[in-house]
Structure 1
């Protein structure tokens, strides 16, 4: 099952709606509208039908996932009935980020990218990569969806994409072991960790993690495919295209740390929440840095993941007039 979020125009502006995505039929089903119709057919009043449907299908994907099987059962009923009255042509949809996570986590698990990235920056991979599954935390407030324009802060000169899977968490949990982790995985989306390579080279030696080189935009979409549709999480096809030209192609195989280990590690000493997104890390050859290339304003980046779909974003124009700190004199 494929589930997404769209913006629907209302009297007070756009509101978020959850949809069942039917790419083969080139349409989506507004889940709240489908629920209202079904309840009214069963004798519910319009007001009561809308109240219950809003609870089952809020605008927040994270809140809906938090309902557990009740949400999935209601979505499955809509998938079975597929009411035309609740359909919207897929070409008319304004997409929102597939999930609205409480925090963004992004891992580093693909051996090919670890090697390729470090070769380009002229450093050997640190031995700590062999000790724990590395990841960083990013802000959830700059997550963008399919077909959204990517903000380009003017302090960035070397812009890059990163082709990743997005692991969407389905249950609240903490201190998990790898063998306990899989039931906490709700589904998979496409994740683009947009990166400012010139700023990254300045920030990372501070040893506080990435900030302005990452937090300007994270692409999540176009929708989520539930985990039951994937037979093998290490055999998912992945491809990136820029302006229609293939720049990278591979699979989800050859990882240093498994999906279950990454989820378990992220849960240690803290709590995972429904709807949280954990990036898999970049596929080997899944960044322009590994190709000695970089993005330009106006470029269209398409990340395609087998079993999910295509996350497409156009790079915006650099924003001028932004403040940047002046370098300080040495204090040592």
Structure 2
């Protein structure tokens, strides 16, 4: 089953996608409710997908974005942080940071350049959505807690990210402006035929900029399975229905920064207004967003320097 949230004739709706149409659920139904176990209601007359604006398929309580592709770490570490190779600590556990659930955009929405940035990048990812809550899960138990999957584009202001990560707290405003989620949420059972013998989903991933392929990879090149990621996220914490777990950016051109790190120069160039990024994941679908001009940043002064006065 494929669940979509959308706007149609001024109303926010959700429904089941079948081919080029969506069958709407009753007004007031939310995908998040269905993810959490609410009964699936009946549907109304189908509406052509061409007549709706696709929204992020759900409003998640939280978004954790992992970094599970070794090849991505190798390339981006060089271009963003100036380091070489893969840190030993990366191999210890599936590291993640918390992204902004309020910054999600739909599959075909425009994406403004973040204020103050001149080096915008995309990131090709797949996200798992938690269905059942829980804590201290094992990977074996975690499989029953995954509701489904969707395409995830973690838009990144590389110049802001590179500067702020020198503070040592990880990305913040460099990742805060937009994340694409869509085009819909595919239930886990639909992707089971793609699972390989090691438990990974062998899905083909493709990234295009203005119709030109710049990257391609397999989701099965992840260092950890989604079940292992979910188990780690739940360690000493509680995951909730609707929580989003991003796979992290794939390798082999899953973002421009990886290519810049390998080539030693910004080629292809950073994204600019008018550029369209299309990300496609086998078994799920495609999202395609066009970059538009953003707002000028509101000024924020630097920290004051002062003596360490004491009482």
TM-score (ref. length: structure 1): 0.82
Partner of 1:299: 275
CA distance in 2, matches of 1:282, 1:331: 43
Distance 1:321 1:281, change over 3 A: closer
SS, match of residue 65 in structure 2: strand
Partner of 2:265: none
CA distance in 2, matches of 1:129, 1:275: 26
Q: Which residues of 2 match residues 7-156 of structure 1 at below 5 A? A: 7-9=7-9, 14-23=10-19, 26-32=20-26, 54=28, 58=29, 60-68=30-38, 70-71=39-40, 74=41, 78=43, 86-121=45-80, 122-124=82-84, 125-156=86-117
Give, in angstroms, the shift of residue 188 of structure 1: 0.7
Partner of 1:44: none
User: Quick check: which one's helix share is greater?
Assistant: 1
CA distance in 2, matches of 1:204, 1:94: 36
CA distance in 2, matches of 1:272, 1:133: 16
Of 203, 209, 212, the residue aligned with 1:236 is 203
Q: Deviations over 1:254-273 (max 9, x none)?
A: 22222111111111122211
Partner of 2:155: 194
Give, in angstroms, the shift of residue 62 of structure 1: 1.5
Distance 1:145 1:331, change over 3 A: farther
Partner of 2:255: 287
CA distance in 1, matches of 2:135, 2:110: 35
CA distance in 1, matches of 2:126, 2:301: 34
Of 213, 219, 224, the residue aligned with 1:257 is 224
In the alignment, does 2:284 pair up with 1:308? Answer: yes
- The number of equivalent residue pairs is 291
What runs of 5+ residues in structure 2 fail to find an aligned partner? 261-267
Q: Deviations over 1:11-34 (max 9, x none)?
A: xxx4321111123xx21111227x
Give, in angstroms, the shift of residue 227 of structure 1: 0.7
CA distance in 1, matches of 2:100, 2:136: 22
CA distance in 1, matches of 2:204, 2:48: 27
Greater gyration radius: 1
Q: Deviations over 1:306-332 (max 9, x none)?
A: 011111111120312522433656989
Give, in angstroms, the shift of residue 217 of structure 1: 0.6
CA contact (8 A) 2:8 2:51 kept: no
Partner of 2:233: 266
Partner of 1:208: 169
Partner of 2:263: none
Distance 1:258 1:126, change over 3 A: same
In the alignment, does 2:294 pair up with 1:318? Answer: yes
Alignment RMSD (CA, Å):
1.9
Q: Deviations over 1:194-249 (max 9, x none)?
A: 00111111111212221100011111001011110112143101001111111111
CA distance in 2, matches of 1:301, 1:246: 10
Partner of 2:3: 3
